[in-house]
Amino acid sequence: MAGKLDRHFWKRSANGKVARRQENGSGETRRSVLVSLIMNCLEVAVLGIAAGVTGSVALEAQTVANSAEVGVDVFLLIGVFSSARAPDETHPLGYGRERFFWSLFAALAIFVGGGGLTLAETVGAILHPTPVHSYGLGLVVLTGTIGLDWVALRTALRPASKHAAELGISVRRLRHRSLDPAAVTAVVGGGCAVIGGCAALVGLGLSQATGSPTPDTIASALIGVLLVCASVGLLRTDRDLLSGRGVPVAMLREMARTVAEQPGVIDVPDLFAVVIGPTSVIVNGDVSLAENLDLRAAEQVIAEATEALRQRWSLVEFVYLTPVPFARPRRNAKRRGVPPLGLPVARGDRGSRSQLPT
């Protein structure tokens, strides 16, 4: 019976539906990345000219950082487009993890091209200091680029906020819980650009006030450290998603409770959910059904449980629930600190635990 039900619910998850959902989830992220790419290309040209004229190390750091951001945006766009492809025979669960792969390269670009090169420029400025001049031009350019970065950041926050609301968490916690690393990378990159621009503006202003290039050099170092720290956090997120991260325990227990509340379900001995894409989660587990259910009734119960999960969480794409007569050895039994997920039904008498109906 389990095999019949598994095949039944595979058919329910049509490839076209998966593709449409992935495409819908990619639209806003794609727009935010495109806006960031256009802004960064403009800023690289303007900041590069201003850095050459003024000799400011902080302006050079911002130029390097924005150049790296151009590469980051290119990687993110590749990931967004490639992850929206429809499932096929070679990738039956879709191409959602393509976005995780290319987001990893984007994080590496921030680490090497942004943080690494910026810190190298700072070390060079410390060993071979040069005077800063044309302060007015530098301050005007930095003010303008901060404004552009703020627009890009606000654009990136829209899909990130929507994603956070869907997960039931705050935007601040999104970096640790997000299913869409491209959206998070766009927000983190935009935030670093705004903070880095402000640091460069303050450093250049202090250098003008004091007549010393030291504040400008310190601002450059701060920008480099900021980019390294941001990239390390993004790399951890990408690693977790690529390695098959599950949903948060609280969300998993709520899923088990939702299944257990369906009429005909006696117990949910085991349940797990794994992220398979930026808008997709696969749910798999065991359920114990009432003994008076025949095959058709058991299929209906599991169909209702599947629909309940999808109504509650739009991220749920594939659902595989296997009827079992008793709890099997748990897949995560060796994990420390994870409580059992079985949730006995407490409301009303739905019958005793069943053997598999035939």
The three-state DSSP-derived secondary structure of 252-263 is HHHHHHHHHCCC
Q: Per-residue pLDDT tens for 174-186? A: 777 788 888 899 9
193 and 307 inside one domain: no
Q: Which of 5-9, 204-208, 209-213, 309-313 has the lowest mean pLDDT?
A: 5-9
User: Is residue 38 within 8 Å of residue 156, measured between CB atoms?
Assistant: no
The CATH number linked to 297 is 3.30.70.1350
Residue 141, token pair as written in the block: 């350019």
Q: Per-residue pLDDT tens for 199-244? A: 999 999 999 999 899 999 999 999 999 999 999 999 999 999 998 8
pTM of the model: 0.77
Quote the number of domains for the chain.
2
128 and 213 inside one domain: yes
User: Is residue 194 within 8 Å of residue 106, measured between CB atoms?
Assistant: no
- Full domain range(s) for residue 191: 15-242
Beta bridge partners of 270: 286
238 and 277 inside one domain: no
Q: Per-residue pLDDT tens for 62-115? A: 999 999 999 999 999 999 998 888 888 888 888 889 999 999 999 999 999 888
233 and 302 inside one domain: no
Residue 226, domain member (yes or no): yes
Residue 3, domain member (yes or no): no
Beta bridge partners of 285: 271, 321
80 and 101 inside one domain: yes
